[in-house]
Amino acid sequence: MQATTQGGARPVVLVTGAARRIGAAIARCLHAAGCDVALHYRGSRDAALALADELERARPQSVLPLQAELAAFDRLPELVARTIGCFGRLDGLVNNASTFRQTPFGSVAPSDWDALFASNARAPFFLAQAAAPHLRATHGAIVNIIDIYAERPLPQHSVYCMAKAALQMATKALALELGPEVRVNAVAPGAILWPEDGGDTAARDAMLARTPLGRTGTPEEIAEAVRWLLFDAHYCTGHVLAVDGGRTLAG
């Protein structure tokens, strides 16, 4: 389904962590739906530029790659300003960038806390603050990518879970702050992509055994949920949409 604006202009969406994995699927989905996209990346320069080239070949002058370290506070309003400078408007913000790593209790350092909260909670909040005036002007929307572990702890990942819980609360709080002009929602993925280090095969199998749909989801299924919340969920705000194959039903 094509994304549209009231004035007929192409919608513009800023996606963080857009170079690879779920972020790249979100960018492709939104671009295919007719959006111009600002693709934020941190270190995955080659992947980001390859994606930008792919999308530009499909529709010229529709993509803006943006490199930034989200832990650097000054870069956050800059991402919004550069998006506006290029496209002249902002209709959506997708806070997808995330840091995920173990923090075994008893060995957690302040640097672990800072790194996990910076990308998973602080940057999305301050990006939303910088984007809000522009999103109000277009009656736009924000979608935060959280995690089913925002509500249920994952062993050895306490700080990550706490940061995602903070982003879930930010979703609800900002829905109150920014309504009625701007809707703010979140997607909570279940098992979509496994960690790149491979992870524990037995734990994977046990997880899927507790998932009613009996399979992992796909990045494209997360991307379509994001597109729906941005452009079609006109009466949803402050909502967290679990895209988890029913996994949370089994506890």
- Parallel, antiparallel or unpaired: strands 36-41 and 12-15: parallel
Nearest to 164 by CA among 178, 174, 154: 154
Total residue count of the chain as it appears in this document? 251
* CATH, range 12-242: 3.40.50.720
Residue 227: pLDDT over 80: yes
Residue 96: pLDDT over 90: yes
Indicate the SS3 state at residue 197.
coil
Tell me whether residue 160 is one of the annotated catalytic residues. Answer: yes
Residue 251: pLDDT over 70: no
Residue 90 or 245, more confident: 90
> Distance between CA 55 and CA 12 in Å, rounded?
14
Q: What is the pLDDT of residues 2-56, one digit of tens each?
A: 776 766 789 999 999 999 999 999 999 999 999 999 999 999 999 999 999 999 9
Give this prediction's pTM: 0.94
Question: Which residues, at least 6 apart from 59, have a Cβ–Cβ distance to it below 8 Å?
Answer: 31
Give, in order, the Cα–Cα distances in Å from 121 to each of 2, 126, 166.
Answer: 30, 9, 6
Q: What is the pLDDT of residues 173-224, one digit of tens each?
A: 999 999 999 999 999 998 887 666 656 677 777 878 888 888 888 999 999 9
> Distance between CA 19 and CA 116 in Å, rounded?
19
> Distance between CA 164 and CA 144 in Å, rounded?
10
Catalytic residue among 41, 149, 160, 235: 160
pLDDT at 201: 75
Q: What is the pLDDT of residues 135-159, one digit of tens each?
A: 999 999 999 999 999 998 999 999 9
